[in-house]
Amino acid sequence: MRAEAGTGTLGKAMAVLEAVVTADGPQRFTDILARSGQPRGTLHRLLSHLVEEGLLVQRRDLSYEPGLRLLTLAYRSWSANRFRDIAEPHLRRLHELTGETVHLGILRETEIVYVDKVESRQTVRMSSQIGKASPAYCTGIGKAALSLLGPAELERILARTEFHVFTPHTHRSAATLLAEIEDIRRDGHAFDREEHEAEIRCVAAPILIPGSELAAGLSVTGPAYRVTMEQLSAWAAAVRAAAQAVGEDAAIRLGPGRGGP
Amino acid sequence: MRAEAGTGTLGKAMAVLEAVVTADGPQRFTDILARSGQPRGTLHRLLSHLVEEGLLVQRRDLSYEPGLRLLTLAYRSWSANRFRDIAEPHLRRLHELTGETVHLGILRETEIVYVDKVESRQTVRMSSQIGKASPAYCTGIGKAALSLLGPAELERILARTEFHVFTPHTHRSAATLLAEIEDIRRDGHAFDREEHEAEIRCVAAPILIPGSELAAGLSVTGPAYRVTMEQLSAWAAAVRAAAQAVGEDAAIRLGPGRGGP
DNA sequence: AATACAGTTCCAAATAATGGAATACGTTAT
DNA sequence: ATAACGTATTCCATTATTTGGAACTGTATT
């Protein structure tokens, strides 16, 4: 497990929590012991505290799994998120125009976190993937959001990015990515040319969230067999317009005062 | 703010986090100072740690709001939740049968937390309200789940319950609730007769989650103008059957070994 | 019964948290 | 300009919590 920063006890607790949450099944004490590298005594107390707080639950067989408190906290913060609320009608409109799935995402470090989604097919899980985090360097919204950053911040993020190769089209280094980011700045929109998932393409545009120093974006995504690059290019103007509209709405309704993303 | 238990530093941090998350807008330092009752120095360090961990975000105007890490953690634990996964097809089947909204909920202390939902109308927010917590004593799933508890646990929960009156039909005391819980144990299903929200009724059945010591339930909910008590009674057998099926599936696929809710 | 393994408890030492007070910052009023 | 105010931040000696190795308990396994 990664070394935790200068966040003292809280950092350790969160690292342990993360270790349990990212594992695929219930974790026994020894599993977590190995994953976390904490000494036995310390880990035991940490786990008790996490259970007492409802962040973890202990099963009858003593193994640990995520507790419901996380879900409740996330629900509260999600439904109080004014930025998402403001963006929603614009996402809907874009979905009606294109018939394809529309995403709203916010950049956090090297990842893009999806905070809303509008889609046709009802087959869907959760709001399918609200809260899901994907690498920024190989997703449309991610690259769009990166294009908003200043040089120093961009460099810091890229230095931390691991260029994992997902498909033949995935960027393999910062060099090619930086070149594309130049294009994105010029054009005002970004494409995902099957870089993260094969057979999945998207066109995205950046949004600056006023008040917070957050970089966000929205996108239209579709399967390659149905959505050609020409089709995406044709939608680009509408995507830029929607992003712009969200930004303006947010500037008015969030501003420096009450309420925020 | 409620006094935090013996969870040391983590408890304080979570209390502060909760204070920010439950507030309706971004909170300034002084707001949180008043709400949390922590001394200035302590609170300031706590907030920095929460921000460093990504649990809070600080805006340009210095106010604090929920960070994205909560959403990501919740997403991971939700999508890895095998109990929800197992229940899902049964919820879907029940939805197809009734045409009304179907919920899956798990009891946590005095509240029922919704962990999945299947509904027709696509107008919906988030998975509308996954992660939302409602009082157990006035909801169908809540009362169904309470009926699974032993006397000691039930008493402990009821002692902590505040009987807030939401509608003319809301239980006003433990006495009437306990009487109804007897009925629920006998019948195997529970009704919500517009007790939490006016014009909203539901029929629910309890599920015992094996492995965890969790009490859960599922329900069919509809608006009073469309769903009569007779209709709900007619659905009760199907709801019981679905709950039973989820329980059996879970017993097989969760068991004492790998994987869990 | 003996052995191995997993989880829990203990406690002196180390460390991080504490919190009151002083300081810096930004804003509005004089 | 300058003063006055409200707010956020930093400081640091004290204190309480965390730390973590080791001993202990309980439960399977041979």
A-B contacts at Cβ under 8 angstroms: 203
End-to-end CA distance of chain B: 31
Residues 6+ apart with CB under 8 A from B59: A211, A212, A213, A260, B26, B65
Most confidently modeled range among A35-39, A90-94, B126-130: A90-94
Contacts of B27 in chain A (CB under 8 A): none
Q: What confidence tens digit (pLDDT) does each residue in B171-187 have? A: 999 999 999 999 999 99
- Which of B11, B17, B60 lies closest to B35, judged by CA? B17
Give tens-digit pLDDT for A186-227: 999 999 999 999 999 999 999 988 777 789 999 999 999 999
Strand D neighbours with CB under 7 A?
A: A 9, 12, 38-42, 45-46, 49; B 8-10, 28-30, 33, 40-41, 44, 47, 62-63
Element holding B117 (H helix, E strand): strand B111-118
Q: What pLDDT is recorded for position B208?
A: 87
Cβ proximity of B164 and B170 under 8 Å: yes
Percentages helix, strand, coil for chain A (3-state, rounded to 5) are 50, 20, 35
A25 falls in which pLDDT band (50, 70, 90)? Answer: confident
Q: What is the pLDDT of residue A22?
A: 92
What is the predicted pLDDT for the residue at B258? 40
pLDDT class of A255 with cuts at 50, 70, 90: low
Q: Between chains, do A59 and B130 touch, taking CB under 8 Å as contact? A: no
Nucleotides of D under 7 A from a protein CB: 7-12, 17-23
A160 close contact with B: CB closer than 8 A: no
pLDDT at residue B123 tops 50: no
Substitution target in A60, A72, A95 with the highest count of B β-carbons within 10 Å is A72
| pLDDT value, residue A2 | 43
Q: Which residues of A touch B132 (CB under 8 A)?
A: 72, 75, 79
Q: Is A8 on the interface with B (CB under 8 A)?
A: yes
Burial of A52 (0-12, 13-18, 19+ CB in 10 A): middle
pLDDT grade, residue B259 (50/70/90)? Answer: very low
**pLDDT, tens digit (0-9, with 9 covering 90-100), for A56-77:** 999 988 999 999 999 999 999 8
Asked if residue A3 has pLDDT above 60, the reply is no
How many Å does it take to go from CA B9 to C1' C8? 22
CA of B60 to C1' of C24 (A): 18
Q: What is the mean pLDDT of residues B92-119?
A: 93
Q: Which nucleotide is nearest to B64 (CA to C1')?
A: D8
Task: Identify which of B8, B68, B75 has the shortest CB distance to residue A49.
Answer: B8
Mean of per-residue pLDDT scores for chain B = 89
The pLDDT of residue B261 is above 50: no
Q: Could you tell me the two tokens for A106?
A: 């916010």
> In the predicted model, is pLDDT for residue A121 greater than 80?
no
Å between CA of A58 and C1' of D25: 20
Q: Show the domains of chain B with their CATH numbers.
A: 8-72 (1.10.10.10), 81-253 (3.30.450.40)
**How is residue A32 written in tokens?**
């977590």
For B44-85, write each residue's pLDDT tens digit: 999 999 999 999 999 988 999 999 999 999 999 888 888 999
Angle at A75 between CA A44 and CA A106, to 5 degrees: 95
Provide the chain A residues 98-137 that lie in CB contact (below 8 A) with chain B: 106, 108, 113, 115, 122, 125-127, 129-133
- Which band of pLDDT confidence, cut at 50, 70 and 90, is reported for residue B257? very low
Residue of A nearest to B59 (CA): A212
User: Which tens digit of pLDDT belongs to each residue from A222-248?
Assistant: 999 999 999 999 999 999 999 999 999
Please tell me the predicted confidence (pLDDT) of residue A5.
Answer: 54
> A173: left (phi > 0), else alpha (psi -120 to 50), else beta?
beta
Query: CB-based contact (8 Å) between A237 and chain B?
Result: no
**Considering chain A, what is the average pLDDT of its residues?**
89
**Total residues belonging to chain A:** 261
Residue range B240-247: average pLDDT? 96
Strand C bases with any atom < 7 A from protein Cβ = 6-11, 16-22
